[in-house]
Amino acid sequence: MATIETIDVSRAPRKGTRRVLGMPIGLISPIVLLGLWEIAARTGAINVTFFPAPSTILATGFAQAQTAQFWGDLGISLQRIAVGLVMGAVPGVLVGLAMGLFRPVREALNPLIAALFPIPKIALLPLLLLIFGIGETSKYVTIAINVFFLMTINTFAGVVSTPKIYFEVAQNLKASRLKTYLTVALPGALPGIFTGLRICMGTALILLVAVEFSTADSGVGYRIWWAWTVFWVDTMYVGFLVIAILGLGFSYAVDFLERLVIPWHRKHER
């Protein structure tokens, strides 16, 4: 017997964010996890000495947010990241552009960068402490070196992956070298530069915490370490929370900047 294949809107895939009980599903999973954690802590199923209840952590966090020390830690940590970022990113982008545009520069630097890049930058901290002392400079430089390599490599990749045709348009019209750099190479490298920035923000946080664990007497990372020495576990968790929020914030900030500066790029990916 013949059957009828019905193709209508009921078969169309559902569009938009999946929702459970009216909430986006991405919001449900952390809420469920926190809820289970809270119940487990209150019923004694987990040891609150190591895993304090989320409500306790939040209460501690609110209390700390009233203190000058909390904001002082946050401020100095942000400053270390910001200064390290600028110190590393500006020369990184310039060297990356030069490597992308000039073959001799590329040939001279490529092996060097390939050899130095895999060294975990935190391994250099003792040396940097010898050179710059225990003050802020050694912390800036540790972060900056890491940022420099990431920005160099990603800017270089950005220039190289710019379709050749754009350079040919400039060449055909006899655009000067400087004009070609500014109107083709730099905008062409911007997507790569943003990829670099995105990775930098994540790794800068790791380095920040590592540096503050070992050689600081202030900062979010220092506060976590200090909380261990005095066994203030709640305070430790507040530190984790602050770092998580920073990481999320940086990620959103880079996304926002990217949409603002290179609106043509993301559209292609979608």
Partner 1 sequence: MTGKIEVDGVAKVFGDPQRGFRAIDKVDLTIADGEFVCIVGPSGCGKSTLIRMFAGLEHPSEGQIQIAHDNPDRPVTAMIFQQESAFPWLTVADNAAYGLRASGTWKGAESQERVDYFLQKTGLYSFRGFRPDQLSGGMKQRLSIARAFATNPEVLLMDEPFAALDEQNKLIMQEELATLWEEFRSTVVFITHGLDEAVLLGDRVVVMSSAPGRFIHSLDIDLPRPRKSAEIRRTPEFGALTAELWDILGHEVRTARQQEADRIQAAGR
Q: For residues 93 and 106, is the Cβ–Cβ distance under 8 A?
A: no
Q: Cβ closer to partner 1: 12 or 173?
A: 173
Least separation in angstroms between CB 266 and partner 1: 10
Which positions from 249 through 268 interact with partner 1, judged by CB under 8 A? 262-265, 267-268
- List the one residue from 151, 184, 207, 242 that touches partner 1 (CB under 8 A): 184
Q: Cβ closer to partner 1: 188 or 239?
A: 188
Least separation in angstroms between CB 265 and partner 1: 8
Q: Is 173 in the site for partner 1 (CB under 8 A)?
A: yes
Q: Cβ closer to partner 1: 58 or 175?
A: 175
Least separation in angstroms between CB 257 and partner 1: 15
Q: Is 270 in the site for partner 1 (CB under 8 A)?
A: no
Q: Is 183 in the site for partner 1 (CB under 8 A)?
A: yes
Q: Cβ closer to partner 1: 145 or 189?
A: 189
What are the residues binding partner 1 (CB under 8 A)?
165-166, 168-176, 179, 183-184, 187-188, 190, 262-265, 267-268
